[in-house]
Amino acid sequence: MSSPFRAFSFLLAALALPALAQQPAAPLAPAAPTSAGPAFVLKTAAAEVAQMIAGSFDVMEELPALAAGGHYVLTLGADKKLLVTTGTGDVGFLQATADPAILFEVFAEEIESVKSIVQGAVTMVLQQEGIAPEQSAGFLKGFWAFPQQLQRVTLQVTGDPEDPKAKGLDLAFAFDAKAGGYFADFVGAMKPCKAGAPQLAGADGAAIAMAASLAPESLRALFEPMLGWVASMTHQDAAARQQAEAFYRKFLGLHDGSFAFVFAPDLSGRYAMGLTDGEGMRQMMSSPEYAEMMKGQKFAGNKVEVEVVPEAFEHRGVKVMKSTTTSDVPNPMMKDGVLVSYHGIVGTWAAGTLGGTEQQAKAMIDAAADGKIARAPLAGGGLVHLRCDLRAFVEMLQQQQPGFEGEASDDMPDAVTVTLGARPGSLTLHVHVQ
């Protein structure tokens, strides 16, 4: 199978994961075989890229000459033949457009030849995480049909992949949904939270900082179909899974769709989460049943223990819960395999720490109580924004894993930011390297 198609398949799998959990009752009917349009079109002025793509489709002829300001145009037809021509105008480093349904139709034989291997590997991995065979089968069925849910996928690359630190690098993806499918419904349900995302101090210097702004109904559309999966991964007993799923569902109903967290290089994390009903959340988290559900977490394949102290201390009238999670599986967010967290409900905020100290938890409660947690829309109307400071992240790994040999080189980019967004009929993903 050609390398461009393999890369496209990995990208498609990453995109499909949230939507496939929806398991629609009536997915789109398969599209009729068509050769009306190309399966794939790529435009670039970089000769080495054009040559590599052409070679992967056994096109060994010399590339056509480019006029000043021109670019190569590589077009893959339904006959599986690649045509290399030229065009004029600026296309950045690379522009690509794919029709997933036609692309999967063109490579039907190649897909069929690896289908059983992929299905076996995915089933094994999912079962190791506690996912039942019937859930794995449903996921795989949806995965192979997912291209029918997409009208097109586009990619725009600008900057310099070989020197992103000096010249920057941006990758902008757009996944256009086909009308009438469950992915179109999923995309249509993705709206930002009207109040905006929490703005936490220190996010710029954090190893990892994440903020989300989803409308409450968007949050439910995103996560409700996956609650059974999550419960299967966190609780192995059938009765415990039912109890966990019920709590997860209640939690979604109390969440306003906005949250933010930051992890410093010393592994201390702080978070704030917006609520629609702070008192309801407080009552749920302080209940003996909730503590029992937390303590009952058992992950397939590794030993995890959770100790919960519902009222570890009180600060400014807020009773703070302490949870201590231990795991025998290495995790960069759990120093020495232990994560101590503190959680408090302050008005319509859930605030606390993930791996932080009691003093840091008190500072978060103070910020919430004093109205110092600001809110703001994410840039460009985004839904989720993630920033990773690469040098701080390397420092965090060095602290967590004494034998870690990686180090931040002089030419390493400073940070990577990823923004997930939505526009009418399309899900967007923007990656910025600086």
Concatenating the DSSP letter of every residue in 373-391 gives: -EEEPPGGG-SEEEEEEHH
Mean pLDDT score, 237-254 = 91
Mean pLDDT score, 56-66 = 93
User: Do 173 and 210 lie in a common domain?
Assistant: no
Q: Which residue has the higher pLDDT, 410 or 313?
A: 313
Gap between the Cα atoms of 367 and 361, Å rounded:
10
Mean pLDDT score, 128-143 = 84
CA torsion 192-193-199-205 (nearest 10°) is -30
In a domain, 404, yes or no: no
Q: Which residue has the higher pLDDT, 376 or 132?
A: 376
Q: Which residue has the higher pLDDT, 174 or 302?
A: 174
**pLDDT confidence tier of residue 327, bands split at 50, 70 and 90:** confident
The gap from C-alpha 234 to its chain's centroid, in whole angstroms, comes to 19
- Reduce the DSSP state of residue 314 to 3 states and report it: strand
In this predicted structure, what is the pLDDT of residue 336? 75
DSSP state of 93: S
Is the pLDDT score of 4 beyond 80? Answer: no
Q: What is the model's pTM?
A: 0.86
CB-based contacts of 329: which residues, under 8 Å, 6+ apart? 302, 337
Is the pLDDT score of 34 beyond 50? Answer: no
User: Do 141 and 199 lie in a common domain?
Assistant: no
In a domain, 394, yes or no: no
11-20, 309-318, 325-334: which has the minimum mean pLDDT? Answer: 11-20
**pLDDT confidence tier of residue 202, bands split at 50, 70 and 90:** confident
Helical (H) or strand (E) element with 199: strand 197-199
In this predicted structure, what is the pLDDT of residue 305? 84
In this predicted structure, what is the pLDDT of residue 27? 46
User: Do 371 and 423 lie in a common domain?
Assistant: no
User: Do 314 and 333 lie in a common domain?
Assistant: yes
Helical (H) or strand (E) element with 247: helix 238-254
User: Do 197 and 117 lie in a common domain?
Assistant: no
Is the pLDDT score of 3 beyond 60? Answer: no
Mean pLDDT score, 258-282 = 92
Please give the residue range of the domain that contains residue 130: 3-184+416-433
Is the pLDDT score of 339 beyond 90? Answer: no
In this predicted structure, what is the pLDDT of residue 134? 83
User: Do 20 and 105 lie in a common domain?
Assistant: yes
The gap from C-alpha 89 to its chain's centroid, in whole angstroms, comes to 34
Q: Which residue has the higher pLDDT, 197 or 239?
A: 197
Is the pLDDT score of 318 beyond 70? Answer: yes
**pLDDT confidence tier of residue 133, bands split at 50, 70 and 90:** confident
User: Do 9 and 115 lie in a common domain?
Assistant: yes
User: Do 236 and 139 lie in a common domain?
Assistant: no
In this predicted structure, what is the pLDDT of residue 18? 52
Ranked by mean pLDDT, the top range of 81-95, 101-115, 323-337 is 81-95
> How is 63-76 classified by DSSP, letter by letter?
PPPPPTTEEEEEEE
Picking from 98, 76, 74, the residue whose alpha carbon sits closest to that of residue 151 is 98
Is the pLDDT score of 103 beyond 60? Answer: yes
Q: How many domains does the chain have?
A: 2
